[in-house]
Structure 1
Amino acid sequence: MSENLSIAFIGLGVMGGPMAGHLARAGYSVTAYNRSAARAAKWREVWAAERLKVGFGATPAQAAQGADIVFTCVGNDDDVRQIVFGADGVLGAMAEGSLLVDHTTTSADLARELDGACAAKGIGFVDAPVSGGEAGAVNGKLAIMCGGSADDLARAEPVMDAYAKAIVHVGPAGAGQTAKMANQMCIAGVLAGLSEAVRLAEAAGLDLDKTYEAISGGAAQSWQMDNRWATMTRNEFDFGFAIDWMRKDLGYALAEARRLGLAAPVTALVDQFYADVQAAGGGRKDTSALVTRLPRRISEEG
């Protein structure tokens, strides 16, 4: 089936570049597009070194021409609107019966807007934000939360398997984005607690490796603890998921909570903590850099 499907992949960033590569390795005919010519050139070199056959379009529309499925993975709502609805957007080039899958983390409102616009042209749509970070994209182990019809997901799922660890159909259009909001709210809360725990252990003069060993085997264990405790204690943050992007995602989550008449005080508080780190110049650091907002106290006993 991979030999018969034509795929367009729009957006070759930290996540999209590896994902497009997995599709090419799986045998799909892939045509890519990226706004930054320098980044596109980087991926040309990477894929050429692997002898992967990936074509490139000069515009999103050119990349999408004749594609059975178009994947998008860009920055935010405005970026998606430009890529989809712009003068050289993919929607104008897509044929009736094709499928648009958006991996960007966006607002649920945009997902529903895209679903309506696609339906009007006889095009399927799935909102499919991902979780797992750069490592998940590189290793093909992403968790994908999907909104849309069961029929549209059934068409997309075998293709997304090329870079997925888990694919879950959450509900209708917008449900995937709302699930991703819940995901980001959980991460933000966990990192806030983890930051305070690291500083407590430091101030008490505990052996930080032993402390991790002691608490990670119990109810406090989490992906963030397993993957970020050590780097947080070493003050290493030049990797991973940027705080700028987390604040964008938390903004969507807080807006959706307001729309639903809900309070989200913990998320709102951690969002402001992240704003403090941004103001101190940490916007491009990994989300675990939240710990830098808390002053380090070294125990005199330690």
Structure 2
Amino acid sequence: MAKLAFLGLGVMGAPMAGHLKTAGHAVTVFNRTRAKAEAWAARHGGALADTPREAAADADLVMACVGNDDDLRSVCLGPDGAFAGMKPGAVFVDHTTVSAAVTRELAQAARAAGLGYVDAPVSGGQAGAENGQLSVMCGGAQEDFDRAAPVIDAYARICRRMGDVGAGQITKMCNQIAIAGLVQALSESLAFAKKSGLEVGQVVEVISQGAAGSWQMVNRHKTMDEGRFDHGFAVDWMRKDLAICLAAADDVGASLPVTALVDQFYKDVQRMGGGRWDTSSLIARLG
């Protein structure tokens, strides 16, 4: 069992940290809003700290799941950041979806401080975090991954090293690109079925058994048909992720025309007041 720190106790981080504690690890948590850390500690019996540096002190691994590039920098760097408190040889594991650029920047800072670094964004949403069934895509040195993977297994359905630092984030971008186009196509299919007078559930029962079937179709068609969009991963966060994808595509000369279009459709959803709706809400703009 390892001595761990977990930074960020949102809808993903809180259950992930809980799985680590249940697995028998010693876990100290930090959250910018202290009340969330207090509630987590009361529920799980772990310790809490006032700063990332205090949480990271003497930890074997420090895990983070925060909001964006700037949030990640704030918990890593500076006199109260995790890097300042981590012991030499400890490994920082970042579960946040951020740019590959900030990942490489922070990995370089970690190496300069004698620390390991693994970028390990996750897919599976709030339900995946709560059920310990996340897909974890990692980038980093093999030896750092080998130390982190047995700990990550507490909340992972699959955990794979995709390459050097940054490869995990690039893989997560592939995930978000695929989801964006798929959810738009599913939205159009369901909206077309409904306006044509068909019963959506019956349509899905048939077409989900063929080449059109997908996880999104099976798990989201009913709530999409009912206009319920409360499954956790918000449109605001999806637009953040798609902006990262589009910027990275420019860097490597890749063309993402469907992704760029769907990003604008999510912008329409934001204008409808749906910034906190989940990503299946694309159907709402189709009327």
Counterpart mapping for 1:156-171 below 5 A: 156-171=148-163
Structure 2 counterpart of 1:197: 189
Provide the C-alpha distance between the structure 2 equivalents of 1:186 and 1:222, rounded to a whole number of angstroms: 11
Give the TM-score, by structure 1 length: 0.93
Q: How many residues align?
A: 287
Supply the distance in 1 between the matched residues of 2:242 and 2:127 (Cα, whole angstroms).
21
- 1:89 equivalent to 2:93? Answer no
CA distance in 2, matches of 1:125, 1:112: 9
1:24 corresponds in structure 2 to 21
1:222 partnered with 2:230: no
Structure 2: unaligned runs, 5 residues or longer? none
Which consecutive residues of structure 1, in runs of 5 or more, have no partner in the other structure?
48-52, 296-302
| CA displacement at 1:111 relative to structure 2 | 1.1
- For the aligned residues, what is the CA RMSD? 0.9
Within the candidate set 222, 231, 238, 2:223 is matched to 231
Match of 1:294 in 2: 286
- SS of the residue corresponding to residue 83 of structure 2 reads coil
Matched AA of 1:23: L
Cα distance between partner residues in 2 of 1:193 and 1:86: 44
Aligned partner letter, 1:136: G
- Post-superposition Cα deviations, 1:80-137, rounded to whole Å, max 9, x if no partner, equal 0000013310001111110000000000011111111111111111000000000000
- Residue 277 of structure 2 is aligned with which of 285, 291, 300? 285
The answer to whether residue 247 in structure 2 is matched with residue 255 in structure 1 is yes
What is the deviation of 1:42? 2.9
1:10 to 2:7 alignment: yes
Amino acid of the structure 1 residue aligned with 2:65: C
Of 39, 42, 50, the residue aligned with 2:39 is: 42
Kept in 1: contact 2:11–2:232 (CA 8 A): no
Alpha-carbon shift at residue 147 of structure 1 (Å): 0.3
Give the equivalent residue in structure 2 for 1:144. 136
Q: Report the equivalent of 1:60.
A: 52
Identity %: 54
Match of 1:180 in 2: 172
Deviation at 1:209, TM superposition (A): 1.1
- Structure 1, 149-158 or 37-46: larger mean CA deviation: 37-46
1:141 maps to a residue whose letter is Q
2: distance between equivalents of 1:135 and 1:10?
A: 20
Q: Distance in 2 between matches of 1:54 and 1:89?
A: 20
SS state of the match for residue 85, structure 2? Answer: coil
1:202-226 Cα shifts (integer Å, max 9, x gaps): 0111111111100100111111111
Query: d(CA) in 1 for partners of 2:194 and 2:35?
Result: 42
Aligned letter for 1:172? D
Cα deviation, residue 39, structure 1: 2.0
**Cα distance in structure 2, aligned partners of 1:89 and 1:223:** 39
Deviation at 1:291, TM superposition (A): 0.6
Paired residues of 2:187 and 2:283 also in contact (CA < 8 A): yes
- Deviation at 1:41? 3.0
Residue aligned with 2:283, SS: helix
My pick for the range that moved more, 184-193 or 86-95, is 86-95
- Which runs of structure 2 are paired with 1:66-77 in the superposition (5 Å)? 66-77=58-69
Name the SS for the 2:4 alignment partner.
Answer: strand
CA-CA distance at 1:44 after TM superposition: 2.9
- CA-CA distance at 1:66 after TM superposition: 0.8
5 Å-filtered alignment, 1:116-155, equals 116-155=108-147
Distance in structure 2 (CA, Å) of the matches to 1:266 and 1:184: 12
